[in-house]
Homo-oligomer: A and B are copies of this chain.
Amino acid sequence: MTLFSLVDLFGVSVFAVSGALRAREKKLDPIGFVTLGLVTATGGGVLRDAILGRVPPFVFQDSVILGVAVAVSLAVFAVNIPQKGLEYFDAVGLGFYSAMGALLALEKGLPPIPCVLVAVTSAVGGGVMREVMVHELPFIFRGTLYATASILGACVLLVAHRAGAPDPLAIGLASAIAAGLRILAIRFNWSLPTPRDGER
């Protein structure tokens, strides 16, 4: 099992929890749990792979990753995880996917700015699909440093890679910083300014 599969596996698992928790909130059946779990866990990675020309996308090649995502989703159906875990598990998935997305784009030879876009797309893609499918507003529009954390994570990875850090270190660092910022933002309700003030 390579580093990539391992990081994919972590990212997929935590995102699957967040998707399954949304399914619980919506009172869906087990298939609903698996659907939202899988969509959240793999949607961004499938977009990423489609963008980078990796065909078929990872989850369609690897029965282990797919099986784990399904098992995690069903486990959430069976056991009782506090509902507010949704945002926290999602934050950890955001971190992993941001780091992985940036690294894979880099290895494909993309320039730095597109690398960041690939990273953010892969990190937020699954969550956007999850929310759109059940008619919730995607986190990226709720203003608590969601995309910001992903962008920061991608930039950390690019800098660490440029500085010669080995991949596991770069991924660990970038994931932790992105997830950390997002979690702090949830806790302390940090946000960017909006044009709310009668400016329209």
Contacts and interface: CB of A to CB of B under 8 A. Distances in A.
A193 interface: yes
A41 B176 CA distance: 31
B51 A55 contact: yes
A56 B110 contact: yes
Interface residues of A, number: 60
B27 A195 contact: yes
Nearest to A128: B133
A90 to B, nearest CB: 16
A53 B11 CA distance: 24
A180 interface: no
A141 B56 contact: no
Contacts of A2: none
Contacts of A61: 110, 114
Contacts of A196: 27
Contacts of A135: 135, 137
A18 to B, nearest CB: 15
A62 B141 CA distance: 26
A151 to B, nearest CB: 8
A25 interface: yes
Interface of A: 24-32, 34-35, 38, 46, 50-53, 55-57, 59-63, 66-67, 77, 80, 83, 105, 108, 110-114, 117-118, 128, 132-135, 137-138, 140-141, 143, 146-148, 191-196, 199-200
Given A28-B143, A29-B143, A59-B117, 10 more contacts: A27-B194, A31-B147, A32-B141, A35-B141, A56-B110, A66-B114, A77-B195, A83-B200, A132-B132, A135-B137
